[in-house]
Amino acid sequence: MAEKTLTTELVSLLETRIGEVILALKRGEEVKQLLIGETGLSGVVYESSYDYYIFDKKWTEEQFDDYWENGGEEKEIDNYIDGVVDFYDDDSTWGEIETVTYTI
């Protein structure tokens, strides 16, 4: 008999009033909440994107600012969230998530 393969999917994304970003992920019937950052999702993604494009891709700050302000921010946030979901799409990494408690 074939074993059922579980996949991880994004259930919700919540950014609290104090800037915490909490992703709710589901794998099978289990839902876990993951705290991403305390500076807002845009801040977390901006820092890593800036480093990548400025240092690795050798863009100027003007090139990066133009990219960021013209759709790059949304693209990079989507890619970041997809990467988080993909990372936890495995039994071993799924087990590493420590569920967080939050109030809205």
d(CA 100, CA 24) in angstroms, rounded, equals 10
Condensed to tens digits (0 to 9), the pLDDT of residues 19-34 reads 788 899 999 999 999 8
**pLDDT-derived band of residue 100, with 50, 70 and 90 as boundaries?**
low
What are the phi and psi torsion angles at 96 (to 5°)? Answer: -80, -15
Cα 39 versus chain centre, distance: 13
Q: Which pLDDT band holds residue 73 (cuts at 50, 70, 90)? A: very high
Which sequence spans correspond to the domains of the chain? 8-94
